[in-house]
Amino acid sequence: MEPIIKVEHLNKIFSSGTGEVVAADDISFSIDKGDIFGIIGLSGAGKSTLVRCLNLLERPTSGSIFIGKNNLLELSERELRMERRKIGMIFQHFNLLMQRNVLDNVCFPLEIAGMKKKEARERASKLLKTVGLKEKAKAYPAQLSGGQKQRVAIARVLAANPEILLCDEATSALDPQTTKSILSLLKDINEKYGITIVVITHEMSVVREICSHVAVLEEGKLVESGTVDEVFDSPKTEAARKLILNAGIQNK
Ligand code: ADP
């Protein structure tokens, strides 16, 4: 089976007045369709940069990023826009539109895509049901808990029918119990819709809970990757050992 995401020799160098930072250093890996793939590492290891490169929010300095057969770096603007529709993203701080109620937040991408208002509302209502927030359709983001806000963000991202969902520290602002409920929702979505999920996190418990595979980043390099069981049960590198042992959760 061809991987849904294939990264080859990815480099990202940030230049500033004070010098250069190599945030991604010759990174290569691939993700199969339907996987839940975790990317872990200490703060500053390059996790955010890597995940932002996967949809070209950040443009790599060099390398290739294949989504299916298409190398994103070789597409025209128009082709890239089409390809990006396959990739949704959720964030630590939810990024909801504060002036719009919950239903209208979920309708937003559908309206942008040109769907008729009535149809968009029907679809958004269904998605709110999927994420367990039907009764909050008329509420505004400020009236919701963190977990509820992330559910709205998930419904909104699902509205565009993505094949891939990127999660950048999506549970890092949530308490442990809410984190569990959001992870369980992500797992349901993965199973129900076959959406491939990429999870960036500094929380090892998140990886243990939902990921099938994991990659370890250290100073911009991918130092280890494999199934979660392989990496957590017998980490090969010092970087992986430290992350896993410090979290104290190597055994399920
Ligand atoms: P992580 O998500 O693992 O915390 P990041 O990808 O945010 O790591 O950062 C990796 C490195 O790249 C860090 O040294 C960070 O300071 C640097 N970096 C990230 N974004 C920028 C930027 N826009 N300009 C300059 N340096 C950056």
pLDDT of residue 252: 43
pLDDT of residue 24: 98
* Residue 226: both structure tokens together: 């494999």
195 vs 180: CA distance, rounded Å: 19
pLDDT digits (tens, 9 = 90+) for 84-132: 999 999 999 999 999 999 999 999 999 988 999 999 999 999 999 999 9
Q: For residue 200, name the pLDDT band (cuts at 50, 70, 90).
A: very high
Distance 87 CA to ligand 1 centre (A): 22
Closest-CA residue, ligand 1 atom 14, reads 44
Closest-CA residue, ligand 1 atom 16, reads 44
Distance 218 CA to ligand 1 centre (A): 12
Rg (CA), the chain: 18
Distance 237 CA to ligand 1 centre (A): 22
Distance 39 CA to ligand 1 centre (A): 15
pLDDT reading at 62 higher than 60? yes
Distance 132 CA to ligand 1 centre (A): 35
pLDDT reading at 212 higher than 70? yes
pLDDT of residue 249: 56
Mean pLDDT of all residues in 209-222? 96
Give the number of the atom of ligand 1 that is nearest the alpha carbon of residue 43: 4
Closest-CA residue, ligand 1 atom 26, reads 14
Strand-pair category, 36-40 with 19-31: unpaired
Widest pairwise Cα distance in the chain = 55
Sheet harboring 36-40: ordered strands across?
Answer: 87-91, 164-168, 196-200, 36-40, 213-218, 221-227
162 vs 153: CA distance, rounded Å: 13
Torsion of CA 44, 50, 55, 60, to 10 degrees: 100
Give the number of the atom of ligand 1 that is nearest the alpha carbon of residue 169: 2
Residue 19 CA, chain-centre distance (Å), reads 30
With a Cβ cut-off of 6 Å, ligand 1 is lined by: 14, 16, 21, 23, 41, 43-49
pLDDT of residue 8: 98
HSE of 115 in the Cβ direction (CA atoms, 13 Å)? 17
Q: For residue 248, name the pLDDT band (cuts at 50, 70, 90).
A: low
Mean pLDDT of all residues in 162-183? 94
From 10, 14, 201, 221, give the residue whose CB has the most ligand 1 atoms within 8 Å, as the site to mutate.
Answer: 14
Mean pLDDT of all residues in 15-21? 88
Q: Are 67 and 4 in contact (CB under 8 A)?
A: yes
From 49, 200, 216, give the residue whose CB has the most ligand 1 atoms within 8 Å, as the site to mutate.
Answer: 49
Distance 49 CA to ligand 1 centre (A): 6
Distance 10 CA to ligand 1 centre (A): 15
pLDDT of residue 18: 84
pLDDT reading at 251 higher than 70? no
pLDDT of residue 145: 95
Mean pLDDT of all residues in 149-165? 95
* Residue 167: both structure tokens together: 């999660």
- What is the reported pTM? 0.94
